[in-house]
Amino acid sequence: MADLSFLGFLVLLLPLTLLLLLYLIVRPKPVRIPIKDRHVFITGGSSGIGLALAHQAAKEGARVSILARSGKKLEEAKQSIQLATGIEVATYSADVRDFDAVKTALDEAGPVDVLVVNQGVFVPGELEVQSLDEVRLMIDVNITGSFHMIKAALPLIKKRQNGGPASIALMSSQAGQVGIYGYTAYSASKFGLRGLAEALQQEVIADDIHVSLIFPPDTETPGLEEENKRRPRLTSIIAASSGAMKADEVAKKALDGIKSGSFIVPCNSEGFLLSIATAGLSPQRSVLMAFVEVVAAGLIRFVALCFQWNWYGSIEKWHARGKTGVNHADL
């Protein structure tokens, strides 16, 4: 009986000891980033997730600025936000690939408390058949454009008026956590944001600036239908398990993650599992999430290997049927 009691004590002691150790070593420390009465600047803010984020930030009392290329879409977005919230947002027309244009827009907007780097383009296709112009477009908008926004905004974030904690949020993708057939260039552009975010967090933490990396799945945006038309059939088979979310749902998850200062912000249950599977050396503010990552790492790795087994099985079947003349539609 005494042995059983001692065993029970050990079973309880081990996780408590781990939690205490994690409490001591987890960095950066937890933080809350207020939105009300603060300047939130959102790129790609005229449609999709960016527009949904602008709506939600305005509802929470933020002063919102949105940037996009199309002046017409910006005006439509401005009117829709004002109609829904009664708040007038500032709009700036610029291409994120043009650093001078971005800097001019940000200088006009003034000090920023929360920067959401949300712009992005996605052109699916196998690398062998995809044009280099399409590859360059994704790299230039998704990666280089993000560097432009952050570099232009950093001096203005450091000049923020209230001196409270600030945020830089980068909109990645679940394709920035795991590479998928037909997403070669896109995944490369989104994986790059991970390295940018991890290094940037170390550079700006002393200025009380907190970086968030958001990983939405397919989202019901104006571009999704066109993307699906171009998506290779094999891509659709492999990615079939991941359903699309509404832009409003992603925006809510994203804004909640920004306010909590979370470094990794998943948007659904699959994203949560991916965040554990790909935690690696990324920062973690939550002791509880750190505990889950440490305890569940082995099991999640096994689940990940099962997914890879399924995906590579689909690829093998696809090519085998192609060689034997079987219709791919029957796969």
Q: Which residues participate in catalysis according to the annotation? A: 172, 186, 190
Compute the distance between CA of residue 241 and CA of residue 233 in angstroms, rounded to an integer.
Answer: 14
* Strand ranges inside 199-296, DSSP E: 209-215, 219-220, 245-246, 264-266
- The token duo for 235 is 């891509």
Question: Which residues are CB-neighbours of 12 under 8 A, at least 6 positions away?
Answer: none
- The token duo for 113 is 């408390």
Compute the distance between CA of residue 172 and CA of residue 100 in angstroms, rounded to an integer.
Answer: 24
Q: Is 261 left (phi over 0), alpha (psi -120 to 50) or beta?
A: left
* Strand ranges inside the chain, DSSP E: 39-43, 63-68, 90-93, 114-117, 166-171, 209-215, 219-220, 245-246, 264-266
Q: Which of 33, 29, 27 is nearest to 57 (CA)?
A: 33
- The token duo for 127 is 């690398």
Compute the distance between CA of residue 116 and CA of residue 257 in angstroms, rounded to an integer.
Answer: 12
Q: What is the DSSP letter of 161?
A: S
